[in-house]
Amino acid sequence: MYHVINPPIPAAPYPGLYVPKAQFAAQMQALEAAGWHAVTMDQLLAYWTRGVPLPPGKPIVLTFDNGYVSQYTNALPVLRRLGWPGVENIQLTGLPPAQGGLSEAQVRSLIRAGWELDTQGMSHADLITLGPAALHYQIATARQILRRRFRVPVDWFAYPSGHYDATVIAALKAAGFVGSETVVPGWASPGEDRFRLPRLRVLGGTSPRALLAQITSARGAAPPPLSYP
């Protein structure tokens, strides 16, 4: 799970979520050298449910949350050189002005490059605090807008700040999503609840060796809980 692919800006509220481009590139090279190969969530589901073959190598999904423009300017060129896709979990509004957000043209370029478009909802709202109408707006309306605008499935959701409960999961299912991603560390497997899939947050300062160790150490983690936090 990545966020901003740039050095942190002054007074950034969450500086750990900024990974500079050179550091990101070194991490990707380490993944490739260790035998990993990036795939999308849709590819993973097709393999899990229908046995559709994945590319050679150990499959890993590289998700990019929120829709920061640096994901297009800095992450895309690195992944393009490797022939790897990313998964863009875009929010439609509310990104910090200092970082900006992806334009429609940039999102279309990501899609043409093989990236999968998914979402974090309309505005990165805390979903577990919302009533039915607001929850529908954040989840179902966001999916409808993105599907209509970009003509892609938008079948997966990433919980804003990782917050979810049974009501949120029910709303996702009602909106037609096939699964969702948490912020709880671990390895995803086909037998798990697809609406509580684990991910590993990659923070700034993570060396390539540390990233590989982080992946290995998460293998035995417990499944995400029924609700979070």
What CATH number did the domain enclosing 191 receive? Answer: 3.20.20.370
Q: How far apart are CA 97 and CA 85, in angstroms?
A: 27
Query: Does residue 4 lie within any of the structural domains?
Result: no
pLDDT at 49: 96
Task: Give pLDDT, residue 12.
Answer: 85
pLDDT of residue 218: 96
Residue 41: give the domain boundaries: 15-220
Tell me whether residue 71 is in a domain: yes
Residue with tokens 């998964």: 87
Does residue 9 form part of some domain?
Answer: no
In this predicted structure, what is the pLDDT of residue 100?
Answer: 80
Q: Is residue 226 part of a domain?
A: no
Residue 136 in any domain: the answer is: yes
**pLDDT score, position 95:** 87
Residue 1 lies in a domain: no
pLDDT of residue 16: 95
Position 117, amino acid: L
Task: Report, as ranges of residue numbers, the positions in the chain whose pLDDT lies below 50.
Answer: none
Gap between the Cα atoms of 121 and 151, Å rounded: 17
pLDDT at position 13:
86
Number of domains in the chain: 1
For residue 9, what pLDDT is reported? 87
